[in-house]
Every structure is written in C-alpha cells, then in structure tokens.
Amino acid sequence: MPLAPHLKRLRTRRLLSQRELARRVGASVACIAYLETGRRLPSLGMLARLVRELRPDPQDLLGLLLAALDGGAASDSLSSPEVPTPAAILPLADGAR
C-alpha cells in the first residue's frame, strides 16, 4: 500500500485534523495534504516526527516504514544504498537523536 493512505488513516484514527497534525509536527497544512495525497514523500526527519505524533501500532508502523522505503517504486528500491533502512528510522521514532 502506498504511504499516503497509511498517513491519512493514522491521522484520522487519532482524530486529528490536517491543521492540528501540521502544527504538531512543524509543517504546513499543504505539506500534510500533499503527503496524504501522494504528491510528496516525507523526508526522514518528517517521517520520524509523524511516527512520534501518530504513534502507530507495530503492524501499522511496519506498513508505514515499508511504504516510505518503497516510495511507490518497484520493490528493488529497498536495496538502494540511498534509501534509509527501518533500523535507521526506528531510533528516530523513539526520540533518539
């Protein structure tokens, strides 16, 4: 599943508007809208802030990370050296810097 529906589902499950989520993660409402429609992909830092704010359960977190890593491309993009691994993202999601 692409990243956009994951983000929207997690946001609505937390009963947050796009405006409130944008405020909490330090983004514009347009940025959140673009992420939820698939017009943009989040940076690693933005993805970490979204994960911290949306607090997905483990299954949703895995889906979110895999969708972010795939970026809508073929599955071989997971082995690309410039694509961050889940291990690189998860410490950020826990607040580690």
In a domain, 74, yes or no: yes
* Domain assignment present for 75: yes
**How far is residue 37's CA from residue 83's CA, in Å, rounded to a whole number?**
21
List the chain pLDDT tens, one digit each, 97 residues.
688 888 999 999 999 999 999 999 999 999 999 999 989 988 889 988 999 999 988 888 888 888 877 764 333 333 333 444 555 555 554 454 4
Task: Name the residue among 96, 95, 89, 97 with its Cα closest to residue 47.
Answer: 89
Q: Which of 41, 49, 46, 32 is nearest to 94 (CA)?
A: 49
Domain that holds residue 16: 3-92
Identity of residue 56: P
CATH number at residue 36: 1.10.260.40
Token code pair at residue 73: 């491309």
Instruction: Specify if 71 maps to a domain.
Output: yes
Treating both helix axes as pointing N-terminal to C-terminal, what angle do 18-25 and 44-54 enclose, rounded to 10 degrees? 120
Q: Does 97 reside within a domain?
A: no
